[in-house]
Amino acid sequence: MKLIVISILALFLLVGCDGTTSFKENKIFAGAKIVEPSTLALGQTTYLEYCIQCHGVDGKGKGPSSQGLLPPPRDLTQGLYKFPWVAYGEVPHDEDLARIIRHGLKGSAMLPWDISDERLDAVIQYIKTFAPQVWEVKDAQLGVKLELPNDPFGDTYKHQAIVKGKKVYHITAACTQCHRGYATKAEITEWNKELSGSVEVDPLFYTLKPQDGEYNYKVLPPDFTYHELRSITDVPSIVQRLMYGVTGSGMPGWKDVVTDEELWALAYYVDSLRALKGEPAERNKLIAPLDAQK
């Protein structure tokens, strides 16, 4: 009830008491996208109906239901997007925002929204108006899309991929700078002998290291065996995420930092860890021996 009252109030504030919308002219958004006032008006109505509880009337993420949520609802005026498939900091395509809104962000309060295609497109256009510094800059370009490299492993060589990915994760790419380690100290010593570098097993190796990032809270890197992953559905979606990184969270993109084969190996490895979520007995077989080491 409270929400409805607030929504109606917000509607009046935004559209004016005579019911006319505040949009009178076409907008031109990044990627030369021309959007008509009627679309923005429909987007506004949709936003007021479904999104303000969390993202707030002004888009700043401080709506009435935002309190205590972690991660907090995004401040849409920042114009930063974590989960599109474009490189770190680049402007997302409409299809990215559509995927994010349709599928939601698992493990957060951002649920999947089952709204009509027309309303989905309209609300996407409307939320752009919160961040004119990104969307309404003259000649602003959309982020570059990278081609998903071919999977060199496939189901047949999945096991080899996981073995390789484990080593890339802990040694070559050192994902444990932020995420936790899942290999034993003995394994790491063994790999180091082989690779002739020296990687010390530091005291934080088995912990998650919260990152400052560009949002107003510390972003926790997930434990893949325990937390929900926001934008991940399968192995290819992990490759996409790794190629592009997570804008503003400190998680960089890995395309051309590691080889395409290593990208897929990492993805198969992370997916094998992800499979332990919700399987406490299986997870324990991996984690208990790590915890028992001294």
The residue ranges that bind ligand HEC (CB under 6 A) are 50-51, 53-55, 65, 69, 71, 73-74, 81-84, 97, 100-101, 105, 108-110, 113, 123, 127, 169, 173, 175, 177-179, 211, 219, 221-222, 229-232, 238, 241-242, 246, 249-251, 254, 266, 270
CB of 271 to ligand HEC, least distance (A): 9
Closest among 46, 217, 178 to 118, alpha carbons compared: 46
Structure-token pair, residue 257: 């930092």
Name the residue nearer to ligand HEC (CB basis): 188 or 229.
229
DSSP label at residue 1? -
**Helical spans, DSSP H, in the chain:** 2-15, 37-50, 52-55, 94-103, 117-128, 132-135, 158-167, 185-195, 235-244, 260-274, 280-292
- Give whole-number Cα distances, 254 to 50, 162, 213, 240, 262, in Å: 35, 18, 18, 10, 10
Name the residue nearer to ligand HEC (CB basis): 6 or 109.
109
Residues 50, 179: Cα–Cα separation, whole Å? 34
Identify whether the C-beta of residue 143 lies closer than 8 Å to the C-beta of residue 84.
yes
β-bridge partners, 258: 255
CB of 115 to ligand HEC, least distance (A): 7
CB of 44 to ligand HEC, least distance (A): 11
CB of 202 to ligand HEC, least distance (A): 14
CB of 292 to ligand HEC, least distance (A): 25
Name the residue nearer to ligand HEC (CB basis): 143 or 250.
250
Residues 100, 84: Cα–Cα separation, whole Å? 8
CB of 16 to ligand HEC, least distance (A): 22
Name the residue nearer to ligand HEC (CB basis): 14 or 138.
14
Name the residue nearer to ligand HEC (CB basis): 231 or 272.
231
Name the residue nearer to ligand HEC (CB basis): 42 or 51.
51
CB of 245 to ligand HEC, least distance (A): 8
Identify whether the C-beta of residue 25 lies closer than 8 Å to the C-beta of residue 132.
no
Name the residue nearer to ligand HEC (CB basis): 20 or 245.
245
Name the residue nearer to ligand HEC (CB basis): 270 or 287.
270
CB of 18 to ligand HEC, least distance (A): 26
Q: Which long-range contacts (CB under 8 A, 24 or more apart) does 282-291 make?
A: 283/225, 283/226, 286/182, 286/225, 287/225, 289/184, 290/181, 290/182, 290/184, 290/206, 291/206
